[in-house]
């Protein structure tokens, strides 16, 4: 079933009693995700939507074996939550927490790599495999998820969580379904970016095309273009690059923390040039994604 997670994925929610987590936990359950336990220190014995709550990850997984966690805790506690999950055998972590100190993110990502665990985020809405499961807040309320997403052959990876759903909805409206849709997170440092996800999509038999939502800032897109060339990746990739006006306003942040152009680094012009060199199709207008996708899917 697509990438990152499947029907056997068993999920815990760290910070489950928080207002945000309480809401998305119900949406996850209603969408078919197997949520087995929640963790909030001091709340052992409570339940959230009939999901038992424990004080620690160890207590939770001893009673309810799990391999994935969605982490929704205050930013200062995110590092500790990630490390606790890793220490207890969790191999897939979706960190929805925002404003996590960059130093903390770098430290827990290094430990995750040592343990061969995959991290999505921080500052992500999560991901969704249409009609199968979702982890985090991807797609928003369950009613919106059911309208915007449908299963099919197009993968989505986006630097904007909200635009993940916008792309899915555009495709669904035009009769094109999706395999896995991932919001990579809006921070400068995230666990899994385009470089990590494209090889997974490339190996996935269900994914025939991938759509990327890109922004100014950073050099991940340029590095991806190099990867496509050097690794001879044949999977068709469509890229839409937002915020081209930012090229003329270097050093100014727009939206996500990673959306900052520094000199010649991270410009949309540079990204477009590299994508074209690698054979990645660049959609001039958002609506052009549909026509290009249909070309590839013929």
- Contact criterion met (CB below 8 Å) for 32 and 60: no
State the DSSP code for 298.
-
Q: Is 256 a catalytic residue?
A: yes
Gap between the Cα atoms of 31 and 275, Å rounded: 35
Q: What DSSP assignment string belongs to 193-262?
A: -HHHHHHHHHH-TT-SEEEEEE-SSSSHHHHHHHHHHHTT--S-EEEEE--GGGGGSTT---SSTT---B
Separation between Cα atoms, residue 222 and residue 181, nearest integer Å:
21
Q: Two tokens at 223?
A: 């590095």
| Cα separations in angstroms, 177 against 151, 173, 269, 293 | 5, 9, 30, 11
Nearest to 270 by CA among 256, 291, 297, 250: 250
Which has the closest alpha carbon to 127: 223, 24, 205, 239? 24
| Catalytic site residue from 49, 64, 131, 256 | 256
* Active site amino acids: 256
């Amino acid at each position: 079933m697509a990438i990152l997670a499947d029907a056997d994925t068993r999920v815990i929610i760290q910070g489950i009693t928080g207002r945000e987590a309480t809401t998305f936990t119900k949406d996850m359950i209603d969408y078919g995700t197997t949520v087995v336990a929640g963790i909030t220190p001091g709340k052992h014995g409570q339940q959230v939507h009939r999901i038992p709550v424990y004080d620690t990850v160890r207590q939770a997984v001893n009673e309810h074996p799990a391999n994935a966690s969605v982490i929704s805790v205050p930013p200062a506690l995110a590092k500790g939550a990630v490390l606790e999950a890793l220490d207890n055998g969790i191999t897939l972590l979706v960190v929805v927490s925002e404003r996590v100190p960059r130093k903390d993110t770098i430290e827990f990502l290094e430990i995750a790599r040592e343990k061969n665990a995959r991290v999505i985020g921080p500052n992500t809405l999560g991901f969704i495999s249409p009609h199968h499961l979702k982890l985090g807040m991807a797609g928003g309320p369950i009613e919106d998820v059911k309208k915007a997403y449908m299963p099919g052959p197009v993968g989505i990876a986006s630097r904007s969580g909200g635009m993940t759903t916008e792309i899915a909805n555009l495709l669904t409206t035009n009769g094109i379904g999706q395999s896995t849709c991932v919001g990579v997170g809006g921070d400068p440092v995230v666990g899994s970016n385009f470089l990590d996800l494209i090889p997974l999509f490339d190996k996935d038999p269900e994914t025939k095309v991938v759509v990327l939502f890109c922004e100014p800032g950073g050099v991940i897109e340029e590095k991806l273009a190099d990867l496509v060339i050097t690794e001879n990746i044949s999977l068709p990739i469509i890229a839409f690059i937002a915020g081209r006006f930012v090229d003329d306003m270097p050093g100014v942040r727009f939206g996500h923390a990673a959306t900052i152009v520094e000199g010649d680094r991270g410009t949309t012009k540079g990204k477009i040039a590299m994508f074209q060199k690698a054979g990645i199709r660049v959609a001039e207008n958002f609506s052009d994604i549909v026509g290009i996708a249909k070309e590839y899917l013929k």
